Structure 1
Amino acid sequence: MTNTGRPEKTASDRAALEDRAYSKAAWRLLPFLFLCYVAAYLDRVNVGFAKLQMLSDLGFSDTVYGLGAGIFFIGYFLFEVPSNIIMHRVGARLWIARIMITWAVISAASLFVKTPTMFYIMRFLLGVAEAGFFPGIVLYLTYWFPAVRRSRMNALFMIGIPVAGVVGGPLSGWIMSAFQGVGGWSNWQWLFVLEAIPSALLGVVTLICLPDSIGAAKWLSEEEKRLLEANIQRDDAGKNQHSVSTVFSDLRIWKMAVIYFCCMMGLYGISFYLPTLVKATGVQSALEVGLLTAIPYACAVASMLFVARSSDRTGERRWHFAIPAALAGIGLFVSTQANTNVAVAMLALTVGTAGMLATMPVFWTYPSSILAGGSAAAAIGMINSIGNLAGFASASIIGWLKDVTHSTNAGIYCVSGALIFGAVLALLGKRQALNASRPVTG
């Protein structure tokens, strides 16, 4: 053996270097990506708070609101896969920055809505602008972290959803309470403008600071870069790298899309109607509604981190997905039976929200564990775009059924059933289908 003058690294030395490098990457990337997702999700769903005043100001029905809230996902669906493929080719830094700045401008411009048609157009354009952000970040994380570490990394990014609820609920409630009539604008107009500012600022920071790849990270040593790149290459070696077109004929991908559609029925049923559900228990103040909606989301932060860590530690995916999904469906159903009992309704909504959001980090370990490269980009975009059509379906169905039955209960029953169906579907098929190749012990 040739003596290079340097002692060979032991297994423990390599493990220590690897842990240090991944810790450095996680601390550099995840807090920032998390903040971006908080801003993104806040701009996407603040229409749920705007609804409390917007409908009466503009004379919109619940059907108009439901269609407008949901039509976001038509634009999202049409441009999701192309957006992810473009990001894979041009790099995350430029494309994510473009997405964030564009959606901030469109979200703020929603203050000019006067008619149902204008409402539909702005929501559609917001979906077009944001298309590719979430699956783009999911894809971006595959460039850095191998499959066995990915559930926890996904969780650290995706807790942006519940944190947006924790922060956004009280913030939106305060804006709705404090800004009515200021400068001649209604409170919902101020809501759209003020909550678009963080997205625009973070978009500029993304353009300056986000590295496109491991090799572009100035804060990693050359040895750390080589180690992380070797791990990703080894992780990709056993995956399929089909052409983009063959992704659309892969039955595994379609099954994942259906499962994700069921999950998103729950997520957007909660996101667009949680303020309405809380208000239906007898709470009238917009600020109180905002504070109460923070409770389910705060509990969801803990559930996401706990389930993701347990799933990575054991290497088990199916039950870690199915149990929270089923609990979410049960929780939402029970919330409709609480009538005006605020405590029972909030407990049920908390179980529903925490369970639903706990499914997401576990689910997104699967597509990136079986595909790589352009096929992974297309598959992640396809699954997310089809799944997010549930945002259109859930918002439209709940809004229409509320106009017909004068209650949100029938719509929530549909959402609850979808979540339980998704849990059952995830358990069908080969046991290995949603499981990691090996657990992470650290």
Structure 2
Amino acid sequence: MNNRLEAAMANSLTTARPIEAETGAEKLAYAKVTLRLIPLLFICYVAAYLDRVNVGFAKLQMLSDLQFSETVYGLGAGIFFVGYALCEVPSNIILHKVGARAWISRIMITWGLLAGAMVFVKTPTSFYIIRLLLGIAEAGFLPGVVHYLTYWFPSSKRGKVAAIFFTAIPASGVIGGPLSGWIMQSMNGTHGLAGWQWMFVVEAIPSVLLGLLILWKLPNRVADAKWLTLAEKQALQSAIDADDAQKSSIPVSRVFGDRRVLTLIAVCYCMALGSYGISFWLPSIIKATGVKSLLEIGVLSAIPSVAAIVGMILLGRSADRQRERKWHLAAAIAIGGVGMLLSVLFSANTVAALVALSIASIGVFAANPLFWSLPTAFLSGAGAAAAVAFINCTTSTAGFVSPYLIGWIKQTTGSTDAAMLILAACNGLGLLILATMVPAKLVNR
């Protein structure tokens, strides 16, 4: 079975596009597209990810205010991904049909409103309902952007731009950590609202405003970009068409049984367990080392995020420069697992734990853009949109499993150490699947 799988993957890329010198129009066009699109999408993802995981900071006050247990928190944090997973594929297919501008705008405005609605949480049931609806609202954003980038950049150029886009995840920690800590500490009790309630309200506003900006500024495709000349549009479209000619265009119905896609799901699921574990529990892990001040926890939580940004950009550039994806991804997964193990060994020392968490964050977050260059390297069109959404919606259930598992283990054992060891083992399993079942030729573009 493994040989047939590798043959199927390799056959999709038997003739890679030769490396050709870019024309002046092509270079200028890529520079324009990168400048016009990537910063806007980056800021949107910062807002999205912050609204998704700021519940990890709210936990520091919300649990005692509302008398929630660790398990209730873990279930509420994770149930977001149930709604997210159910709506991911249809959301991405709709985006492919109606265009990115209208659909991404809709996603952002609705999730912003629901993120702000967390201020009304009083009971576990209301917590679960709003988190579930937030997942439904946000479904399609990440795979939608991943697919949208294929309209503008060929496979050989998506590593760097994807790395820049995905740095929004740790950047949300750099911005959101100190911001959340400051809001919760300084605004607690203002106008009768707790600090965690103010945090949800303040951090939801940018998402709604950005949704309106997307509706105004985001072009659907190359032909719609008024800021490109005709020569630049032709250069970009020629590169995209040449890249697409080497990919499979399979019906949406076949995506769900495609062995290449299923193998990538297995790799991504193992990666996602570690990623969400760190995102949702980083503030709690830092607090467990002895840090008490909410503002100090917020500032310290930004350190692993800064390290992750640097690592993501360096690995993304290296992967593009060498036109190699598999072993760069393998290295990132391995670094993440080692960092998790070290965080357990040094969990009683704040400085050492921060170093370990920084190593883990570099690996865990750098793996994301490297991974998402895989499915779009061998699929195109609606099949690619469905595949990206299918992979993301399936693996997003790890976002339910990971925080709930850690919450249950912490409540049972009083520590997150055992959970981090389990997540490190999952990283190791993902590395094994990647090394043995994904041929390097799949992503050497």
TM-score range, shorter chain: over 0.9
Given that 2:329 and 2:367 are in contact with CA atoms closer than 8 Å, whether structure 1 keeps it comes out as: yes
* 1:83-122 alignment runs, 5 A limit: 83-122=91-130
TM-score by length of 2: 0.94
SS in 1 for 2:250: coil
Give the Cα separation in 1 of the matches to 2:399 and 2:20. Answer: 47
* 1:422-437 alignment runs, 5 A limit: 422-429=430-437, 431-437=439-445
How many Å apart are 1:13 and its aligned residue? 9.0
Match of 1:241 in 2: 249
Q: Which amino acid aligns with 2:144?
A: G
Q: Which amino acid aligns with 1:46?
A: N
Larger displacement relative to structure 2 (140-149 or 16-25): 16-25
The question of 1:32 aligning with 2:40 is answered: yes
Given that 2:377 and 2:443 are in contact with CA atoms closer than 8 Å, whether structure 1 keeps it comes out as: no
Given that 2:114 and 2:134 are in contact with CA atoms closer than 8 Å, whether structure 1 keeps it comes out as: yes
Q: Which amino acid aligns with 2:135?
A: G
Deviation string 1:198-232 (CA, Å, 9 cap, x unpaired) is 10100000001100000000000011101111111
Give the Cα separation in 1 of the matches to 2:277 and 2:424. Answer: 9
Given that 1:170 and 1:287 are in contact with CA atoms closer than 8 Å, whether structure 2 keeps it comes out as: yes
Match of 1:217 in 2: 225
Instruction: Please list every run of 5 or more consecutive structure 1 residues that lacks an aligned counterpart in the other structure.
Output: 1-10, 438-442
Given that 1:147 and 1:436 are in contact with CA atoms closer than 8 Å, whether structure 2 keeps it comes out as: no
Given that 1:325 and 1:419 are in contact with CA atoms closer than 8 Å, whether structure 2 keeps it comes out as: yes
Match of 1:137 in 2: 145
Give the Cα separation in 1 of the matches to 2:140 and 2:20. Answer: 39
The question of 1:261 aligning with 2:269 is answered: yes
Give the Cα separation in 2 of the matches to 1:347 and 1:228. Answer: 42
How many Å apart are 1:322 and its aligned residue? 0.8
SS in 2 for 1:220: coil
Given that 2:263 and 2:437 are in contact with CA atoms closer than 8 Å, whether structure 1 keeps it comes out as: no
SS in 1 for 2:261: helix
Give the Cα separation in 2 of the matches to 1:263 and 1:12. Answer: 34
How many Å apart are 1:49 and its aligned residue? 0.1
How many Å apart are 1:409 and its aligned residue? 1.2
- Find 2:23's aligned residue among 12, 15, 22: 15
SS in 2 for 1:259: helix
Match of 1:377 in 2: 385
How many Å apart are 1:433 and its aligned residue? 4.5
SS in 1 for 2:23: helix
Match of 2:372 in 1: 364
Q: Which amino acid aligns with 1:396?
A: Y
Match of 2:6 in 1: none
How many Å apart are 1:17 and its aligned residue? 1.7
Give the Cα separation in 2 of the matches to 1:158 and 1:209. Answer: 21
Aligned pairs, how many? 427
Given that 1:316 and 1:434 are in contact with CA atoms closer than 8 Å, whether structure 2 keeps it comes out as: no
Match of 1:124 in 2: 132
SS in 2 for 1:143: coil
TM-score by length of 1: 0.95
Inter-CA distance 12–316: structure 2 relative to 1 (3 Å threshold): closer
Match of 1:54 in 2: 62
Give the Cα separation in 2 of the matches to 1:285 and 1:243. Answer: 54
Inter-CA distance 364–186: structure 2 relative to 1 (3 Å threshold): same
Give the Cα separation in 1 of the matches to 2:34 and 2:55. Answer: 32
Inter-CA distance 199–383: structure 2 relative to 1 (3 Å threshold): same
- Find 1:189's aligned residue among 193, 197, 203: 197
Instruction: Please list every run of 5 or more consecutive structure 2 residues that lacks an aligned counterpart in the other structure.
Output: 1-18
The question of 1:230 aligning with 2:238 is answered: yes
Match of 2:293 in 1: 285
- Find 1:65's aligned residue among 59, 65, 73: 73
SS in 2 for 1:242: coil
Match of 1:170 in 2: 178
Q: Which amino acid aligns with 1:67?
A: L
Match of 2:327 in 1: 319
How many Å apart are 1:430 and its aligned residue? 5.2
* 1:69-80 alignment runs, 5 A limit: 69-80=77-88
How many Å apart are 1:74 and its aligned residue? 0.3
Larger displacement relative to structure 2 (39-48 or 249-258): 249-258
SS in 2 for 1:60: coil
How many Å apart are 1:339 and its aligned residue? 3.3
Give the Cα separation in 2 of the matches to 1:315 and 1:12. Answer: 13
SS in 1 for 2:396: helix
Identity of aligned residues (%): 51
Given that 2:116 and 2:201 are in contact with CA atoms closer than 8 Å, whether structure 1 keeps it comes out as: yes
Give RMSD over aligned pairs: 1.2
